[in-house]
Amino acid sequence: MTPAEILGLIGMLLLVGSWVPQTVETIKKKECPLNMGFILIYFTASVLLTIYAYAGRDWIFTTLNGLAAFQSGINLYVKLFGK
């Protein structure tokens, strides 16, 4: 693993990790306080960036954006169908 890949991996873990507290809270409370527009844009962007990174064979950004899409997707689902 190159130094650049290590930096990318650390950045990925921090960025994806930043969603964890919000997603856990959303699941526990079954309600999402985030703005619907923000969630939709973030989810859509993450899905598109996952596809782009996968096509470019960049595993760090594929994983990062895939996990970000997954976590924001949970928040979107709860926003739409919670309580």
User: How far is it, in rounded angstroms, from Cα 17 to Cα 13?
Assistant: 6
Instruction: Please give the pLDDT value at position 36.
Output: 96
Instruction: Evaluate whether 69 touches 46 at the Cβ level (below 8 Å).
Output: yes
**Domain boundaries in the chain?**
16-81
Instruction: Please give the pLDDT value at position 8.
Output: 87
Range 16-81 classified under CATH 3.30.1330: no
Instruction: Please give the pLDDT value at position 82.
Output: 86
What is the reported pTM? 0.84
User: How far is it, in rounded angstroms, from Cα 30 to Cα 33?
Assistant: 10
pLDDT digit of tens for each residue in the chain (83 aa)?
899 989 988 998 998 899 999 999 999 999 999 999 999 999 999 999 999 999 999 998 999 999 999 999 999 999 999 87
Closest to 72 in 3D by CA, of 11, 29, 4, 15: 15
